[in-house]
Structure 1
């Protein structure tokens, strides 16, 4: 990784780790699953009071079993260990026997929104958050799930590309309260404010029904120089498309980085349905080629950026439960921008003229995907 300017200390390409000092908070940025998982397991093993983990996908595979062993060991040491996973996201990867073993070890294991005949609509609203709390000292948040798909050591060079934070500082208390409030049923909990330029955002709120969407709208409008977006599932609603196009029309450098290889083909079809309008407004679109891109980051101008679980799609903005960390910090913004540019070097830019000549079969696939966008 190229060493960014400012207070970033970058690791090697193999580790994919760099650090940023953002006022009273220290953020470690991970783009490689092996480095992230090693750090998480090390922190879990050193915990003295609590280990709380929330993940959309928690798989019983080579990586998941390491986590289950460490979590069980922590519980048997007398720690408060809680694990909350999504019933749909982990349905096929985490068999009932695995969850029972965690419970037998004393782990407070919870399936989030399992199927209920009396409330079938709840199954549609997924807990897509990825969050870990260690004591009152450390929080992890971002896009990585607990699965070997993210491990180069296990999955090889085709492991998924993602982004995650390790946070130390005052914002950890907000992350702890976010975990605790969700468990108590306060699904619209909001952080009280910023800590050292950092704000934890949920996508639902009491004052603004779709809080993350409102926040992004304000930031898109305020952008002056650049707006660089990375998302694996790019299905922006009409209002978000207008905001992006307006920013580009005002001279903002708007770039969208999406996967060239998507794990959900219907999503890619739907995503490509938006290309023509965005390209016409001056937005540059890039498709990442080497492997599945799963990172969710946003870089606005030179100081504001986000990393979290939320995609720029209908489900993340209006349906699912998400967590995103918004940071006013130039050094972190610089680090994320450097990573973004590295990813662009491994991407193909979609050109407006060739795109307009794509075959009818591609246009039909885009129409089918876009028609199903609310369910993807």
Structure 2
């Protein structure tokens, strides 16, 4: 994934998932959206990173209240609490004012009885409401795929995406030190229009990505929004992360609340560490559910042996998903580095070649590491048989996480 003017390599980066996958077909296709990781020029975007829920929610509400034409919103969790009701009030007001307002929520993450009254009020106000994959007896397997995206698009001009759900658990004012540690980003201009297209695509249940969502050639762009599935590749996020790791030269920082990505990404991490790249992986100390933590720890031994630095976050519940490569490339969005996010669920991430964004995420990663404990290889080798047995259970359950 190198720029056309970058002397370190070719203009394109190919998928490496094997000859039998959809990504192998991407390797031999044209540039138009068929390569999993495009070439991007270096830019200086107008991204804004949020790490506190109160600040993010205020900015999102301000954007909704300033909308002139339409508002589209997706969330995995939209709680029936103070935060959720605040958003519902803002959305309903815009619908009553005559704007087109869409709210697309995941039926598993948000479909609780307490939300019924909010849904009724929204629909009475004119908000177009839709559940993503409610359970259907005739299509039970569909329920396994969730919409894990968190997205707000206003007038096709401003968009917010990342890991924050809509609930009080992300608010310092309401939850204090119990609040989750998460990350979101605001984008504007062409990227927001892309976000609007992607939101419309999922709302209309049209699987192939809209042809305008990724340009004919990536030349001249410094950032793209990448959905987890496209017409050409069903493993695009795995390709993206693996190729970012493979192109790293100096420094690689990854933050993921769930870590069970599979062989492709784990091998890329080990190889990067072996060739001298400083690789830091930040994960939670305790998994939620517990088996997720066991699955994460099942990957420790080979990573530590290769020289990867593993840190377990201690301060709060970790929910942020972000990667930084060489102070230049960044990935931020809704996707965890686990099987469900990489291969099953609907996800959305921003990939950018922007040093300002990379620096903001790097500084946050450094702050998080100061609130974490490093897993030392010498100590890890001394872990007991109980811990090793739980790791085996976690490894066996990886494809369910």
What TM-score do the two structures reach when normalised by structure 1? 0.91
Alignment correspondent of 1:122: 142
- Aligned to 2:109, the other structure's residue is in SS state coil
Aligned-pair CA distance for 1:24: 7.2
Match for 1:331 among 339, 356, 380?
A: 356
Match for 1:181 among 174, 198, 201?
A: 201
Change in 2 beyond 3 A, CA 1:24/1:47 = farther
Check whether the contact 1:60–1:93 (CA below 8 A) recurs between aligned residues: no
Supply the RMSD in Å over aligned alpha carbons: 1.5
- Aligned to 2:169, the other structure's residue is in SS state helix
Match for 1:37 among 50, 54, 57?
A: 57
Aligned residue pairs, count: 355
Q: Does 1:62 align with 2:85?
A: no
Q: Distance in 1 between matches of 2:150 and 2:258?
A: 17
Alignment correspondent of 1:282: 307
Change in 2 beyond 3 A, CA 1:152/1:213 = same
Q: Does 1:370 align with 2:395?
A: yes
Alignment correspondent of 1:158: 178
Alignment correspondent of 1:219: 244
Aligned-pair CA distance for 1:66: 0.5
Q: Distance in 2 between matches of 1:229 and 1:335?
A: 14
- Aligned to 1:63, the other structure's residue is in SS state helix
Q: Distance in 2 between matches of 1:196 and 1:219?
A: 17
Alignment correspondent of 2:367: 342
Change in 2 beyond 3 A, CA 1:155/1:270 = same
Change in 2 beyond 3 A, CA 1:175/1:199 = same
Alignment correspondent of 1:83: 103
Q: Distance in 1 between matches of 2:100 and 2:83?
A: 22
- Aligned to 1:290, the other structure's residue is in SS state coil
Change in 2 beyond 3 A, CA 1:374/1:40 = same
Runs (4 or more) in structure 1 with deviation over 6 Å come to: none
Match for 2:378 among 340, 353, 359?
A: 353
Match for 2:116 among 89, 96, 99?
A: 96
Check whether the contact 1:162–1:294 (CA below 8 A) recurs between aligned residues: yes
Match for 2:191 among 171, 177, 201?
A: 171
Q: Distance in 2 between matches of 1:197 and 1:183?
A: 27
Alignment correspondent of 1:192: 214
Instruction: Mark the runs of 5 or more structure 1 residues left unpaired by the alignment.
Output: 1-21
Check whether the contact 2:160–2:185 (CA below 8 A) recurs between aligned residues: yes
Aligned-pair CA distance for 1:96: 2.1
Check whether the contact 1:223–1:247 (CA below 8 A) recurs between aligned residues: yes
Kindly report which structure 2 residues correspond to 1:221-260, keeping only aligned pairs within 5 A, or say none. Answer: 221-260=246-285
Instruction: Mark the runs of 5 or more structure 2 residues left unpaired by the alignment.
Output: 1-41
Aligned-pair CA distance for 1:357: 1.2
